[in-house]
Structure 1
Amino acid sequence: MRRPNILFLMTDEQKFDTFGFVNSVLKTPNLDKLISNSVFFNNAYCSNPSCVPSRAAIVTGKYPTACQCPTYISTLPKDEVTFMAKLQEAGYYTAVVGKQHFDASEIYKGYDYECIVDGHSQTAPYENIVAFAEYLKEKGVYKVKQVGEKLICGSEWTGDIENHIDYFIGEKGREWLANHIDTTKAADAKPWFMTLSFPGPHQPYDCEGTAYAANYNLADMTLEESKVADLETKPPHYKHLNPRAYIDQYDEELYRRTKRSYYANMSLIDEKIGEVIAMLKEKDEYDNTLIIFSTDHGDFMGDFGLVTKAQYLSEGLMHVPLFVKPPIKDFQGFRTNDLVTNIDIASTCLTAAKAPEKITEHMENHPYNDYWEKDTVSARDYVYMEAHDIKGVIRDGIKTLYYVERDYGELYDLNTDPAERINLWDDPKYQTAKMAGMAKIIDKMFWLSPKSSMQWNVNAPKI
């Protein structure tokens, strides 16, 4: 039986509610249509609120602690193995167009073809955006200069939209994949895996002023339920984000325009993904392609009067979009409330490639394939997350966040307070729930430790 092709669509810093499918304000018709053929996870979480560790977790299938890349300034060790390299071993041709964020790591990435663009605009260092910079040079518009901020942590777009980095990534990805499909039509050709990874809608929020932004009304860019005053009950570092990220120091209209810029960037990405999907259908590859969509982490975008992200395990940063279209013709999509993590993209791809033996110790192993291949799914009873010295779990709607060597923490009852406005860490009625959450954190940290699966002794009784 022919193994499926695999397309991994990825964004950067995308909040959960940025599809028309979830939020009617958003204009993302192509993604919405793709979701209709997919399993959509209402409760999907990333492992970490920062690009580098979260992406390290995705490509290795391991939590940042386990793959030894726990912070933004850390790098994957050379001896780690990506799931793309394992797909190569399993006989797949692998490719990437877009952002990866391996940074200074010497790890073997596992791609047969690479067009890595690790930046968010032409102001990034040339060596990080070579293909994009050369494209702009050919058009005579490559000028490295800092763009003035006319939005909150962003600016208006004043040039040709074809010079936007997400437009370039979408075009480059579609063109490369179409050519690869056309030149590998033989029945014995390798199945392919491709990562198409957009730098947006990550800051700088720069799609205000485009035709995409013109499709949104400022009046629809509403303020979030949580407010800056809610930070008073949270740990002290919440008040020490980038000073420019606190929206109460600006006019409300400026925040609304910033949010519109963020939404407009999603509409641009949606358009480019729509063109890729249309190409797959034209070339009769759509039905045999497993398509996975997710992001590395979210963005406050108004939560608690903040924008951007940092070392916090808040829902706006950790609760992420994730859906999967199986390689099945006319698949009828559905939603599930099961707790999942985007680290299982690795185990899902290896399972689809008929190479489950390559899912090794410390890799997360709850492949999404079970949702269309099995009658029942063994779902997690809790989800774990970390931000270096902050560890957290969500179980039965109770979110417990432990701060290493601090006498404070966070606990929220998401069943009644999904916006996380009331910190119940010291509430007497929630101490039993807190202890249960702490026990799960200890369990997970134990299993992430080296050689945790090794038995005590040859004839030692099981505990």
Structure 2
Amino acid sequence: MPPMNILLITSDQQHWTTLGVLNDKIKTPNLDRLAAMGTNFTRGYCPNPTCTPTRASIITGQYPSTHGAFTLGTKLDENVPTIGDHLRKAGYATTLVGKAHFQPLLSTDDCESVECYPMLRDLDFWKTFNDEHTPWYGFDRVELARNHADEGHVGQQYAVWMEENGLPNWRDYFQPRHDGIKDTETDGTLAPPLVDGPGYGWRKDMTWKLPEEFHYTAWTGQRTIAAMRDAHAAGKPFFVWSSYHDPHPPYCVPEPWASMYNPEDMEVGKFVDGEFDHMPPPHQLTRDANGDFGPYNQDGKGNHGYHPHVGVSEQELKEAQAIYYGMISFMDHWIGQTLDALDEMGLTDQTLIVFTSDHGHFVGEHGLVAKGPFHYDDVIRVPFLAAVPGQQKTGNTSADIQTLVDLAPTFLEAAGLGPAREMQGVSQLDSWRGTAEPTRDHAIVENHHNASDAVHLRTLVTDRYKLTVYRGRDWGELFDMQEDPHELHNRYDDPAYAEARSAMMMKLIQADLEREPAPQPRVAGA
């Protein structure tokens, strides 16, 4: 039997409920098709609710506190072993298309980044990147874009592709450069105008004039298909990470997706009066319309990460959600093209396919928008679909706990390789096949949100409870997810839940011991 191909498809900042199989408000026929091919795991969790830490965990099989890229603005060391390194040695063609975000937007003497200015816009550099700088994090082939929607930090191979395919004035469709330097006098003139408020990601006009065929979603889909075809033509098994950028804000997308959903049909979250009465101080401070979070700010090193929507109307949230759904449906279209290409090449029955997201998203839930350091299910729970060809019951739905830290070791087993000693995750292949009892009974989510340790927390999720502890603080959170699935009643200090809290504390300690890696074998007694 030939080695199994591995196709990992990810979105960015997608709420776990935004699949047609779970939510009749959204149309995702191709993700529904993938769910019918395998299993929809409804309790998938990320190891950190922000981009860099989780993305680094996906390729290393390690938690952020181990691989070192513990928050946004940090860098994953390029010498850390990755799933790509292991698969390359086994003869796989390894490719990353889309968003990486393993490195920060700033390069310093202490942190050299190629995902930053001015290198982002050095298109000559990116034209030769694969000849001179790969393998990069274990990928032999790398095609990158860093921006979300019309953000100014656009460039890399995506910009090269736009120029080569007939859009030399691509700069006109994006905001001025993130570093404040304009490339042309018309930079950003066709991008949706910026707006101050009502929150991160809003645009005055959410319909983006960028032609649909030049959108990075179309680029990611096309280049994913090309990578699979090239590997197949070379007679090599492939590991392709198809890394989509949406539906991460800003909220804007071209037609026809911008008008696909009626805002009046959207159901958005809201703050429930009294829900923060027993929550830690950082939560309570999100009700401050001025955004003054005092000691919990990020020491001036960028956004504090809290995104309250005090003053944002329900109508504004609905308009944002309609665009958010359109961004997902556009991505779903290209996922369908990718699945069709596998069928055309006759590779569907030889390809393990996983779809998930790096973290979730708030649209009003608990009075929040976007993301931040809070560990509500809205941001730590992710969509998770896994299809193991010919080895599992199809069209299945499972509540078995999954975590993205387990992706790398599972891919290793699917490729017929042994476990990697440095990885902290465990293979879920038997769980995906449905041939064994659940491999996990918990997930751990970390968040060392800023350098001052003002918000440094860790969460344990089990089948019923969710416990969150804060470094150096007396406060905490305990939610009974069975009785309180919307997480409105913190039971951390509730005497009626004292026994459950004690049991969860012990479980957290044991879970932390279990994930301790042993990267070096013991070869002698001393």
Same fold (TM over 0.5): yes
Does the Cα contact within 8 Å between 2:14 and 2:359 map onto a contact in 1?
A: yes
Paired residue for 2:408? 346
Paired residue for 2:341? 279
- Cα deviation digits, residues 292-316 of structure 1 (max 9, x gap): 1111100112211221101121110
**Normalization by structure 1: what TM-score?**
0.89
Unaligned runs of 5+ in 2: 104-111, 115-134, 177-191, 287-292, 294-302, 449-455
Unaligned runs of 5+ in 1: none
Structure 2 counterparts to residues 312-391 of structure 1, below 5 A: 312-328=374-390, 332-357=394-419, 359-372=420-433, 375-388=435-448, 389-391=456-458
TM-aligned CA deviation for residue 122 of structure 1: 4.9
Structure 2 counterparts to residues 41-56 of structure 1, below 5 A: 41-56=41-56
TM-aligned CA deviation for residue 229 of structure 1: 5.2
TM-aligned CA deviation for residue 435 of structure 1: 1.4
Moved more, 105-114 or 399-408: 105-114
Query: Residues 337 and 54 (structure 1 numbering): CA distance in 2 closer, same or farther, change over 3 Å?
Result: same
Paired residue for 2:15? 15
TM-aligned CA deviation for residue 178 of structure 1: 3.2
TM-aligned CA deviation for residue 378 of structure 1: 4.2
Paired residue for 2:236? 190
Paired residue for 1:422? 489
Does the Cα contact within 8 Å between 2:35 and 2:385 map onto a contact in 1?
A: yes
Query: Residues 312 and 175 (structure 1 numbering): CA distance in 2 closer, same or farther, change over 3 Å?
Result: same
Does the Cα contact within 8 Å between 1:371 and 1:377 map onto a contact in 2?
A: no
Query: Residues 452 and 351 (structure 1 numbering): CA distance in 2 closer, same or farther, change over 3 Å?
Result: closer
Distance in 2 of aligned mates of 1:51 and 1:422: 28
TM-aligned CA deviation for residue 242 of structure 1: 6.5
Residue aligned with 2:399, SS: strand
TM-aligned CA deviation for residue 421 of structure 1: 0.8
Q: Is 1:136 the counterpart of 2:162 in the alignment? A: yes
Distance in 1 of aligned mates of 2:491 and 2:31: 37
Q: Percent identity?
A: 29
Paired residue for 1:405? 472
Residue aligned with 1:392, SS: strand
Q: Is 1:154 the counterpart of 2:221 in the alignment? A: no
Paired residue for 1:112? 140
Paired residue for 1:259? 321
Distance in 2 of aligned mates of 1:76 and 1:131: 21
Does the Cα contact within 8 Å between 2:414 and 2:429 map onto a contact in 1?
A: no
Does the Cα contact within 8 Å between 1:76 and 1:105 map onto a contact in 2?
A: no
Does the Cα contact within 8 Å between 1:391 and 1:441 map onto a contact in 2?
A: no
Does the Cα contact within 8 Å between 1:11 and 1:295 map onto a contact in 2?
A: yes
Distance in 1 of aligned mates of 2:381 and 2:305: 24
Task: Determine which of 240, 243, 259 is the counterpart of 1:214.
Answer: 259
Distance in 2 of aligned mates of 1:14 and 1:253: 21
- Cα deviation digits, residues 41-94 of structure 1 (max 9, x gap): 111111001101111111100111122222222222343101111111122111
**Normalization by structure 2: what TM-score?**
0.79
Q: Is 1:231 the counterpart of 2:276 in the alignment? A: yes
Residue aligned with 2:76, SS: coil
Query: Residues 130 and 172 (structure 1 numbering): CA distance in 2 closer, same or farther, change over 3 Å?
Result: same
Distance in 2 of aligned mates of 1:451 and 1:33: 40
TM-aligned CA deviation for residue 406 of structure 1: 0.4
Q: Which amino acid aligns with 2:217?
A: D
Query: Residues 232 and 305 (structure 1 numbering): CA distance in 2 closer, same or farther, change over 3 Å?
Result: same
TM-aligned CA deviation for residue 319 of structure 1: 0.9
TM-aligned CA deviation for residue 285 of structure 1: 1.2
Residue aligned with 2:8, SS: strand
Coordinate RMSD, CA, aligned = 2.7
Query: Residues 190 and 362 (structure 1 numbering): CA distance in 2 closer, same or farther, change over 3 Å?
Result: closer
Does the Cα contact within 8 Å between 2:409 and 2:425 map onto a contact in 1?
A: yes
Residue aligned with 2:158, SS: helix
Paired residue for 1:123? 151
